[in-house]
Structure 1
Amino acid sequence: MVIELRGVHFQFDRPRPGQTDINGILDKPIADSVAILKQAADTLKRYPNTEIKIDGYTDSIGSQAYNLKLSERRAEFVKNYLVNHGVAESQIIGTKGYGKLDPVASNATAEGRAQNRRIEFKVENPGQMGQ
């Protein structure tokens, strides 16, 4: 099962290496993105046997090598957010960046590029969550 965290938008070229301030990473409206991340954390805490992989993506601007690293930082940022908000680290069985691969929208427009700067959860063991 794949769950896209719709509404969690990253600012262009964020996070930078070592950057942790949520206000400088998430795009506006930040409150909407934070609410979605909190909801994801709350759901995972309710289903402690559920395991996920976190996948990060970028838009098409920049080289694939750069975008791979950027998408990996996005996945790690979300992992750290979840763990810092009470999700057991053992529930997160991996993070991976895919760069600009597998766009969900056209990269020809600013709106499409924003949609492609995304995070997806791959639920590996849905347990009761899948019922």
Structure 2
Amino acid sequence: MARPKGQSTIKNRIVKSMKEMGTYSKHYDDIIEIYSGLLYDYQNAREEFLANGSQFTEEHETGRGTIVERKTPLVQSMENLRKDIVTYSDRLGLNPKAVGIEPPKPKDAGGLEGMIANLL
């Protein structure tokens, strides 16, 4: 199995992609740091998942003594990481969905605000 990439390698790849797409700004560095951390954590969780036999569910005894099947904590963590990764990739414009979205246009100011804006 390939060795997982480090967080700094992932961050550099993200910055390079954003620069190529013309969407990079240093103002995004904090968000990029979080996003690269999420990708790194997901990569490590996936490696652990594969190393432990790819077990999706486990038996769990409820407070009433009933045995139920539930997702393993690792699978739950991976699902949460995936959701967060999608959210951050949207914000950074790094997926096909986000590329097609135009930023919202400011509303025309009306009333007193519009008159003041026109005077300036």
Which structure: greater helix fraction?
A: 2
Which structure: greater strand fraction?
A: 1
Query: Normalised by the size of structure 2, how large is the TM-score?
Result: 0.30
Larger of the two Rg values belongs to structure: 2
